[in-house]
Amino acid sequence: MTAGDTHQAIEAIFRIERARLIAGLARVVRDVDRAEELAQDALVIALSEWPRTGAPANPGAWLMTTAKRRAIDAIRRDRMRERKHEEIARELDGGLDGAAEVIDAAMDDDLGDELLGLIFTACHPVLSADARAALTLRVIGGLTTDEIARAFLSSEATIAQRIVRAKKTIGKAALSFETPRGGERAARLASVLEVVYLIFNEGYAATAGDDPIRPGLCLEAQRLGRILAGLTPEDAEVFGLLALMEIQASRLSARIGPDGALVPLSEQTRARWDQLLIRRGLDALARAEALGGDGPYALQAALAACHARAPSWADTDWPRIAALYDRLRAVTPSPVVDLNRAIAHSMAFGPEAGLRLVDEIADAAALRNYAPLPAARGDFLFRAGRRAEARREFEAAAKLTRNAREAAFLLARAGACD
């Protein structure tokens, strides 16, 4: 084994330990940047020592002890003896009394909560959604600034700045890195889930760039969701979001056609759906429902599950989907939800039911230039035998869409109305 191989192996070990290491250090020094620095210092020492001594049996404990020792040394060297630094030094000193076994035992208990605390802090609502996403991918996901920049089609400099400012904001807000409890937990958790789903969606339905999907980014979000589920086994919406992401991710291969364009759900080749991810998603949904979950993520996951269980678009449990949309619009009302509800009702109860519902939202400002609206109305009219009106709707939809493939499809439907 050459020195280069060993370094690569040590860095791989470090990447596995990094998030928990930063979490434990941040809890003590109360500064994300400092925690990252200390973690990096520990890696440098590992790179110089482990090739000689071999990697320790518990690399996480070794890295944590090493980093904390450096923190103490730095604080002691620090001429500006603010009271805060003295307090921290006392805490650290106390923690390091005794052997590494003491740290091992404490770590098993505390590290889960420390990691959860770091996740909550990186996703604090005092930061913008973009800042939360970048910071979370950096300190929890361990992505480099370059990887994050490429994920969000931004420049490395922009992302680096965003992260620096996010850390400053956290510092100024004097956040404690503790896990929120009681009344504020639900709101803080919603902020975390929003970030994770934002990352997932950027991979699932990329808003910019050449690739309509970026599966690697979906996987980052799925991993974050899985980690969260392990850390918060009592939170229904965590399992709801995880279920939603696993089921949506199951369709990624089927979502792209041979021409590289997005394929709508109604036309996807279901044999290409990843059954392993569907199984994981359904299991997560069952956990969410057992925990009483009927929040927006659990509901969206239940909708996704209806599709996942169906052998075809036609053989889908449309009455159940219609009922789920009825509940979803009460929880997260939006014109797009209303449109999807109209489609579900038309599939479950006939085209006239769809027409009645779509007419209720015909004037919604948000749907004004939204091709799926006239496309849906066109479909309902076609199925109701009102071909001439259907043709006009399909043509209007074709004009609104910017997707050439979709336009061709809609014009073909218009042509079929004769």
Partner 1 sequence: MRVMVLVKATEDSETGAMDPAWTAEMMAAMGRFNDELRNAGILLMADGLTPSAQGKRIAFDGPGRTVIDGPFAETRELVAGFWLWDVKDMDEAVAWVKRCPNPMPGPSEIEIRPLN
How far, in Å, CA of 418 to CA of 405, rounded?
Answer: 21
Say if residues 288 and 239 touch (Cβ distance below 8 Å).
yes
Q: What is the DSSP string of 166-221?
A: HHHHHHHTT---PPP-THHHHHHHHHHHHHHHHHHHHHHS-SSSS-S--HHHHHHH
Candidates 6-14, 262-270, 291-299, 357-365 — which segment interacts with partner 1 by CB under 8 A?
A: 6-14
Which amino acid, one-letter code, is at 111? L
Phi then psi for residue 411, to 5 deg, are -65, -35
For tokens 């009825």, name the residue: 326
Q: How far is the CB of 20 from partner 1 (least distance, A)?
A: 10
Under rule CB under 8 A, which residues in 255-284 are in contact with partner 1?
276, 280
Nearer to partner 1, 89 or 231 (CB): 231
Residues 288, 247 contacting (CB under 8 angstroms): no
Q: What is the largest CA-CA distance in the chain?
A: 86
Q: What are the structure tokens assigned to 395, written together?
A: 């043509």
Q: Which 31-70 residues touch partner 1, going by CB under 8 A?
A: 55
Near partner 1 by CB under 8 A, which window of 162-170, 224-232, 282-290, 292-300?
224-232
| Residue 224 interacts with partner 1 (CB under 8 A): yes or no | yes
| 282 CA to centre of own chain | 18
Using CB under 8 A as the binding rule, whether residue 309 contacts partner 1 is answered as no
Near partner 1 by CB under 8 A: residue from 101, 129, 144, 230: 230
Q: How far is the CB of 257 from partner 1 (least distance, A)?
A: 20
Stretch that binds partner 1, among 125-133, 151-159, 216-224, 363-371 (CB under 8 A): 216-224
Q: Which of 24, 225, 354, 374 binds partner 1 (CB under 8 A)?
A: 225
Tell me the C-alpha distance between 299 and 334, whole Å: 14
Distance CA 115, CA 21 (A): 9
Backbone angles phi, psi at 262, to 5 degrees: -70, 140
Min CB(9)–partner 1 separation in Å: 7
Q: Which positions from 144 through 183 interact with partner 1, judged by CB under 8 A? A: none
**Cβ at position 370, least distance to partner 1 in Å:** 35
Segment near partner 1 (CB under 8 A), from 225-233, 281-289, 386-394, 397-405? 225-233
Write the DSSP assignment of 224-283 as a string of letters: HHHHHHHH-TT-HHHHHHHHHHHHHHTTHHHHB-TTS-B--GGG--GGGS-HHHHHHHHH
Please report whether residue 231 would count as binding partner 1 according to CB under 8 A: yes
Among 69, 226, 309, 356, binds partner 1 (CB under 8 A): 226
Select 277 or 355, whichever has its Cβ closest to partner 1: 277
Q: Which residues bind partner 1 (CB under 8 A)?
A: 8-9, 11-13, 15-16, 55, 112, 219, 222-227, 230-231, 276, 280
